[in-house]
Amino acid sequence: MILVLIDHDRGEIDPLSLRALTAAKKLDQDVEAVVIGSDGAILAGIAGEYGAKVLHVASHSAIGDYTPMASGRALKDLVAKLNPAAVLAAGSPRGNEQLAHLAAFLDIPMAAECSEITLGRPHNVLRARWAGNLIESALVHSQLLVATILSFSTEPQSLGGPAASVVQFEPALEPADSVVKILSRDAGESKGGVTLNDAKVIVSGGRGVGGPDGFGNLEELAALLGGTVGCSRVVTSSGWRPHAEQVGQTGTKVAPDLYIAAGISGAMQHIAGMKNSKTIVVINTDPEAPILRYADYAIIGDLHQVIPALTSAIRAAKG
Nearer to ligand FAD, 29 or 249 (CB): 249
List the one residue out of 313, 289, 312, 290 whose CA is nearest residue 301: 289
Q: Applying CB under 6 A, does 248 fall inside the site for ligand FAD?
A: yes
Q: Which of 19, 25, 127, 233 binds ligand FAD (CB under 6 A)?
A: 233
The site for ligand FAD, by CB under 6 A, has a size of 27
Q: Which of 38, 59, 250, 276 binds ligand FAD (CB under 6 A)?
A: 250
Q: Which of 151, 217, 228, 246 binds ligand FAD (CB under 6 A)?
A: 246
* Interacting positions 40-69 with ligand FAD (CB under 6 A): none
Q: How far is the CB of 240 from ligand FAD (least distance, A)?
A: 10
Nearer to ligand FAD, 26 or 243 (CB): 243
Contact 310, 221 (CB under 8 A): yes
Q: Which residues pair with 2 in a beta bridge?
A: 31, 86
Q: Which of 71, 265, 277, 311 binds ligand FAD (CB under 6 A)?
A: 265
Identify which range of 106-114, 155-163, 176-184, 244-252 contacts ligand FAD by CB under 6 A.
Answer: 244-252
Q: Applying CB under 6 A, does 92 fall inside the site for ligand FAD?
A: no
Q: Applying CB under 6 A, does 284 fall inside the site for ligand FAD?
A: yes
Q: Applying CB under 6 A, does 238 fall inside the site for ligand FAD?
A: no
What is the Cα–Cα distance from 315 to 313, expressed in whole angstroms? Answer: 5
Q: How far is the CB of 135 from ligand FAD (least distance, A)?
A: 19
Backbone angles phi, psi at 205, to 5 degrees: -120, 150
Q: Which of 207, 242, 244, 276 binds ligand FAD (CB under 6 A)?
A: 207
Nearer to ligand FAD, 178 or 284 (CB): 284
Identify which range of 86-94, 110-118, 185-193, 259-267 contacts ligand FAD by CB under 6 A.
Answer: 259-267
Q: How far is the CB of 198 from ligand FAD (least distance, A)?
A: 19
Identify which range of 105-113, 121-129, 217-225, 285-293 contacts ligand FAD by CB under 6 A.
Answer: 285-293
Apex 184 CA angle, 171 and 170, nearest 5: 10
Q: Applying CB under 6 A, does 304 fall inside the site for ligand FAD?
A: yes
Three-class HEC string of the chain: CEEEECCEECCEECCHHHHHHHHHHCCCCCEEEEEECHHHHHHHHHHHHCCCCEEEEECCCCCCCCCHHHHHHHHHHHHHHHCCCEEEEECCHHHHHHHHHHHHHHCCCCEEEEEEEECCCCEEEEEEEHHHCEEEEEEECCCCEEEEECCCCCCCCCCCCCCCEEEEECCCCCHHHHCCCCCCCCCCCCHHHCCCCCCCEEEEECHHHCCHHHHHHHHHHHHHCCCEEEECHHHHHCCCCCHHHEECCCCECCCCCEEEEECCCCCHHHHHHHCCCCEEEEEECCCCCHHHHHCCEEEECCHHHHHHHHHHHHHHHHC
Look at phi and psi of residue 226 and say left if phi exceeds 0, alpha if psi is from -120 to 50, else beta: left
Q: Applying CB under 6 A, does 181 fall inside the site for ligand FAD?
A: no
Q: How far is the CB of 250 from ligand FAD (least distance, A)?
A: 4
Q: Applying CB under 6 A, does 285 fall inside the site for ligand FAD?
A: yes
Q: Applying CB under 6 A, does 214 fall inside the site for ligand FAD?
A: no
Q: Applying CB under 6 A, does 202 fall inside the site for ligand FAD?
A: no
Q: Interface with ligand FAD by CB under 6 A: which residues?
A: 206-208, 232-234, 246-251, 263-265, 267, 269-270, 273, 283-286, 289, 302-304
